[in-house]
Structure 1
Amino acid sequence: MRMDSSTEPAPRPRVTARLRALRFDAGSLALNLVATLGRRTSAPIERLGTLDRLREWCDGVGLRLHDEAVTDELLTELWTLREAAYDVVAAVVHGRSPSGVSVALVNDRARLAPPQPLLVATGTGVGVDGADRPLSGRELQSVVVRDLIAVLGDPERRGALRMCDASLCTMVYLDHTPGGRRRWCSMRLCGNSAKAAKHRERRAAAAPARS
């Protein structure tokens, strides 16, 4: 006997390679980390699930890790930091207070100062020493957290925080368009999908009812 339609589980959206791809278009380093978990409010898509993906993400944001820092322990710490960062930025977007646990974790990860490049005298002038030194796991997290604090501490950037209107996405990004009227994390991705869905709805509404 066929199950009543009200008890049938909703079909899971198809997860494509495009949806699994890392995102580097959120507008800041910290927000790019937050974006490594897609569709977090519906059917979460883990984009930072392996050490190879961690290396790929670091390459994408222009950071270098010590080889020995690329560990499962660091991956777990980044997942924890990612959720705390998401809680904080989502609180700003929605006008609520973030969890005290999230704030404490973010502040704790900010305490270790990231490496600072220094000028050095050379035979022909000056050079920069340490600019490309690989980071430890905690130094990487400190760089990410300090970026998050810089975003939230800048009234213009803080005011530009947005959450994608697509109900399956809800990615947080910085909107620097004139008037701040951008609705989607990406017009090519969620924007086009939303337009296509509306077009299908209009066609369905205009179609003659079946007898």
Structure 2
Amino acid sequence: MATTASTNPDGPWFIAEHSALDFINTLARAEKGQHDFLQSDEDVMQWLRHLGLQVNVPGKPGELLASARKLREIIREVVEEKKQGKAVSLVKLNAWLVQAQSHLQLTQDDDGVVKIQRIFQVDTPQRALAPVAEMAAELIAQGQFEYIRQCEHPDCTLWFYDKTKAHRRRWCSMALCGNRAKVARFRAKS
């Protein structure tokens, strides 16, 4: 599942070029400190809907939010370990993956084009987040980590997958940190 670039100031931002990294980026350093874009179960469901997942998760209020925050930290830890060249601790992520219940379904559009769609069971918060865990697993196993980076701005914590042709991307987004760096360089010259 690909994400589209989006830098809505109210966030969350979809600028990482990989959904698992966008999920990590739901906790970001803003000008006034850390900002968590996931403040409610509805925020999590809205993030999942952005991926094209139809989610209405049963459970106690706050349970989906707590599960999402827990999964986000697990993914962040594994990405950081892999990026640092350390042995990757897969136990916690595998515990999420084992809960995934899904099946393939064939669909046909009005033009007769047949497509395969994966349908996830979403009867618990953990199962609702299973697609995110699967995206993280795909990134860890198949991602080219020489192109997975953190933004170079000293006040930014966002991650991205550099899919540019020259692989020289330095900022999470030119609209966010790239512009701040340009302004800072200009002010330093003045």
TM over 0.5: yes
Q: CA RMSD in A?
A: 2.9
Q: What pairs up with 1:29-178 in 2 under 5 angstroms? A: 29-39=19-29, 43-69=33-59, 71-98=61-88, 100=89, 103-119=90-106, 135-136=122-123, 137-155=125-143, 157-178=144-165
Q: Contact between 1:163 and 1:173, CA under 8 Å: does it hold in 2? A: yes
1:79-108 Cα offsets, whole Å, 9 max, x none, are 01101111111222233345x4xx321110
| Structure (1 or 2) with the larger CA radius of gyration | 1
CA distance in 2, matches of 1:45, 1:167: 16
Which structure dedicates a bigger proportion of its chain to helix? 1
Identify if the C-alpha distance between structure 1 residues 115 and 193 changes in structure 2 by more than 3 Å, giving closer, same or farther. same
Report what 2:5 is aligned to: none
CA pair 178-171 structure 1, distance change in 2 beyond 3 A = same
Instruction: Report the CA distance shift for 1:133/1:178 in structure 2 as closer, same or farther (over 3 A).
Output: closer
Letter in 1 for 2:77: D
**Gaps spanning 5+ residues in structure 1: where?**
1-16, 204-211
Alignment partners' CA distance in 1, 2:42 and 2:64: 13
Q: Given the two structures, how large is their TM-score scaled by the length of structure 2?
A: 0.80
Whether the 8 Å CA contact 1:91–1:97 is kept in 2: the answer is yes
Aligned residues: 178
Shift in alpha-carbon separation, 1:149–1:130, aligned structure 2, 3 A: closer
Counterpart of 1:197 (choices 171, 174, 184) is 184
Q: Secondary structure at the match of 1:68?
A: coil
TM-score by length of 1: 0.72
- Residue 131 (structure 1) shift: 5.2
